[in-house]
Amino acid sequence: MALIAVISGAAVCAALLNLDLDATNKFTREFRVFGANVVVSAPQTGDAAGTMDVGEIERIEQLRSPQIVGIAPYLYLSAEAQAGENKAAVIVTGTWFDAAQQMNSSWKVDGNWVSGRENRTDCMVGEQVAARLGLVPSHSVKVQYAGREAVLRVVGVITAGSSEDSQIFIALPLAQELGGLGARASLVQISVRGSAPEVENVIGRLTLALPGLQVRPLHQLAEAEGRLLERIRGLLFATVVLILALTSLGVLAAMAGLALERRGDVGLMKALGGSVQKIMRFFMAEATVIGFVGGTIGFAIGMLLSQWIGQRVFSVSITPHLIVLPATLALMVLVSLAGALPLRLLGRVRPSEILRGE
């Protein structure tokens, strides 16, 4: 019964610990499909936002680490768009389409993404702009800014559920030509993967490497990600503590019954000269073996259980982590030893009473 209790507890604990290790990475990776969580921009000059040299991206690239998974510059122009008889004031956004696609894979696109960073003939429009101007893929739209204009073919309509729905996206070099700004950008969006402390560490390194620029997190996304991860982690650890307590009680009940059954054995050992310390070490060794064997079997079951939970609950594949094995074994041995405490009562057994059959 003690072994069954330990196996059950080890299986659940190993599954939850493995989920905690793998789910954090999986969730932070899943969050990255919703866009950047760090922005680098120039300080505001008066009432207008400043621009930054695109060459700063090279300095950001030099700091690229496993946490930085995407970098995309953006240049915003308040322009006028015309399609046929329809006109509208819009925000024209110049960017690298390949980087934007990587960082915003959650966007729904009717049509295709623009191919190439130097493409000066194609564009993508937000669904609100498309509705106002009557645009669909393959239509043409004329963009005008500061006396300069460009006629572009619409290859895709974006549905992002945010401000991007009211923008027209063009290649960054074309936006720089329309704005007459040279190699400038309004800001750089960075997608940083990792826990909240890891993101803060990347922000600190970027701040030191980019003096004169503002590096800030997108608080709405970062806070939502942090709250979700904290709640999941708190739930997992609370469940582990509860399972350990229940496992300890199961071992305690089994060992209490074992103590009553072995009163005669203990009395005979003491009558033959066995010390209480030696007898207790014998039973503690038995409890340790139960914890070790139960923990090993439970770990194997727990890995399968964590994969099942990952697929059914979180819809992600969970990778087994061998580092969970020593943690599970240590926890189960400690729980078994704690549950074996009733065996200390056997030290009070009097050999004379046992030999007389009392």
Q: What is the pLDDT of residue 221?
A: 58
Residue predicted with more confidence, 315 or 265 = 265
Could you state, in order of their start, the residue ranges of all structural domains in the chain?
2-27+227-355, 37-217
Q: Higher confidence at residue 330 or residue 191?
A: 330
Concatenating the DSSP letter of every residue in 121-151 gives SEEEEEHHHHHHHT--TT-EEEEEETTEEEE
Q: Reply yes or no on whether the pLDDT at 231 is more than 50.
A: yes
Q: Mind listing the pLDDT tens digit for each residue in 134-166?
A: 999 999 999 999 899 999 999 999 998 888 999
Task: Please compute the mean of the pLDDT values over residues 311-323 and round it to a whole number.
Answer: 79
Residues 291-304 have a mean pLDDT of: 92
Q: How confident is the model at residue 349 (pLDDT cuts 50, 70, 90)?
A: low
Neighbours of 20 (CB within 10 A): 19
Least confident window among 111-120, 166-175, 307-316: 307-316
- CB neighbourhood size of 142 (10 A): 14
3-state secondary structure of 64: coil
Whole-number pLDDT of residue 47 = 47
Would you state the pLDDT for residue 257?
A: 78
Q: How confident is the model at residue 318 (pLDDT cuts 50, 70, 90)?
A: confident
Task: Write out the two tokens for 333.
Answer: 């041995």
User: If we measure between CA atoms, which residue out of 59, 158, 154 comes closest to residue 101?
Assistant: 158
* pLDDT reading at 48 higher than 60: no
The fraction of the chain above a pLDDT of 70, given in percent, is: 85
What does each C-alpha distance from 64 to 59, 191, 210 come to in angstroms? 9, 11, 14
Residue-wise pLDDT for 63-97, tens only, equals: 767 778 788 999 999 999 999 889 999 999 999 99
pLDDT tops 60 at residue 46: no
* 165-188 mean pLDDT: 92
- Report the mean per-residue pLDDT for the chain: 83
- pTM, two decimals, is 0.64
- For the record, the structure tokens of 130 come out as 């498309």
Q: Who wins on pLDDT, 51 or 357?
A: 51
The whole-number average pLDDT for the span 117-132 is 93
CA 207 to CA 44: how far, in whole Å? Answer: 17
Beta-carbon contacts of residue 273 (< 8 Å; ≥ 6 apart):
none
- In this predicted structure, the answer to whether residue 36 has a pLDDT above a threshold of 90 is no
In contact, 306 and 14? CB cutoff 8 Å? yes
Q: 191: which strand partners? A: 70
Mean pLDDT throughout 178-183?
88
pLDDT at 27 exceeding the cut of 70: no
pLDDT band at 171 (very low <50, low <70, confident <90, very high): very high
